[in-house]
Amino acid sequence: MQRVNLSTASEFVFVGLSDAPEIRLLLFVLFLIIYLATMAGNITLLAAIGTDSHLHSPMYFFLGNLSLLDLLCPTVTVPKMLGALLLEHKEISFSGCLFQHFSLIAVVGTEIFLLTVMAYDRYMAVCHPLRYPSIMSMKLCAQLAVGTWATGLLNSLLHTSLVFTLSFCGPNKIQQYYCDIPPVLAVSSSSTYSRELVILVVAGVLGSSACVVTVVSYIYILLEILARNSPGIWHKAFSTCGSHLTVVCLFYGTTICTYVRPSSTYSPQWDRVVSMLYGMLTPLLNPIIYSLRNKEVKCALKRVISQVRRAV
């Protein structure tokens, strides 16, 4: 029986951050501000959705799940990165790297499936407004949400098992500030071709399926708008779907640039820029995008902020 290759490396070292002390301090302050702003924005949005009865609907239920994912995504990677910048502690244990990798892929995968469910929800709201309350019941919404989280976890379990059963006997320096698929594969001492092929196939099937559902949903929405051709229909449809469509384009664009390609094209400098976009800026921008384009959310946020001020 063939033995499974196990890693002999007990830890990995992140080398994706600057060694210049003045640059490290500047990056630490910048990333800390972005992280705190992301936490504040998504927690405030979650509080508004949870406390305002006007936002107790399927659309905002899924938006609350998206905010929770946007809280988890930077929390998986940013605290370790801040510690490396401030304390120069760039090492991470093998088990810590495995956990970070599993958590990040689970969050990213879940967000892809959740955005797909949100596209279907917008299709039902625009194309079947009279049947929408009966079809998109809270029971169905809960089942869809649980399904997205379960699929994201199972997808991450598969990817993590494929990556971390490789051998890591050579250099243990990861050209990134967290444990992601491309940089971890790059430091493996064994052949990664078959694993990469499986990862690309699985990611391609799941990702393309989610993308097809999203695109088809918006095609039906567009056809419905053109068929009605009533005054103000474009403005109403844009206010209903504009925020979600903007988030989808931003998230899919950065994710595809990072994952849908072979490791032979891996560029540490380019990947660090892209990973900043989907790992830090996207979770920061999502609550801003939804609050700026949605009057109900803006009113709810104002009420939450006023309540906090009175409490303080």
- Cα separation, 218 vs 229, in Å, equals 16
- DSSP tag of 168: -
**CATH code, 153:** 1.20.1070.10
| Residues belonging to the chain | 312
List CB contacts of 6: < 8 A, sequence separation 6 or more: 165, 167
pLDDT at 290: 78
Number of domains in the chain: 1
Phi, psi of 140 (to 5 degrees): -65, -40
State the pairing for strand pair 91-93/11-14.
Answer: antiparallel
Task: Decide if 3 is inside a domain.
Answer: no
CB 189 within 8 A of CB 28: no
Task: Decide if 109 is inside a domain.
Answer: yes
Task: Decide if 214 is inside a domain.
Answer: yes
pLDDT at 252: 76
pLDDT at 136: 92
Residue 260, both tokens: 């849908």
For residue 91, what are the β-bridge partners? 13
Helices (H), the chain: 21-51, 58-87, 94-127, 132-135, 138-164, 181-186, 193-228, 233-259, 268-276, 282-292, 295-311
pLDDT at 4: 42
pLDDT at 234: 66
Whole domain around residue 113: which residue ranges?
12-311
Task: Decide if 272 is inside a domain.
Answer: yes
pLDDT at 261: 58
The pTM of the whole model exceeds 0.75: yes
- Cα separation, 79 vs 82, in Å, equals 5
Phi, psi of 242 (to 5 degrees): -60, -45
Angle between helices 58-87 and 138-164 (to 10 degrees): 30
CB 90 within 8 A of CB 152: no
- Cα separation, 143 vs 134, in Å, equals 15
Task: Decide if 1 is inside a domain.
Answer: no
pLDDT at 298: 76
Amino acid at 38: T
List the one residue out of 155, 187, 152 whose CA is nearest residue 171. Answer: 187
Task: Decide if 270 is inside a domain.
Answer: yes
Task: Decide if 247 is inside a domain.
Answer: yes
Task: Decide if 5 is inside a domain.
Answer: no
pLDDT in tens, the chain (312 residues): 344 444 456 788 888 666 666 778 888 898 899 999 999 999 988 988 888 888 888 988 999 999 999 999 999 999 988 888 887 778 888 899 999 999 999 998 999 999 999 999 989 988 888 899 999 999 999 999 999 999 999 999 999 999 988 888 767 888 888 888 888 888 887 787 888 888 888 888 888 898 899 989 989 988 888 887 766 666 666 666 777 777 887 777 766 666 555 555 556 666 666 677 667 888 888 888 877 667 777 777 777 777 777 776
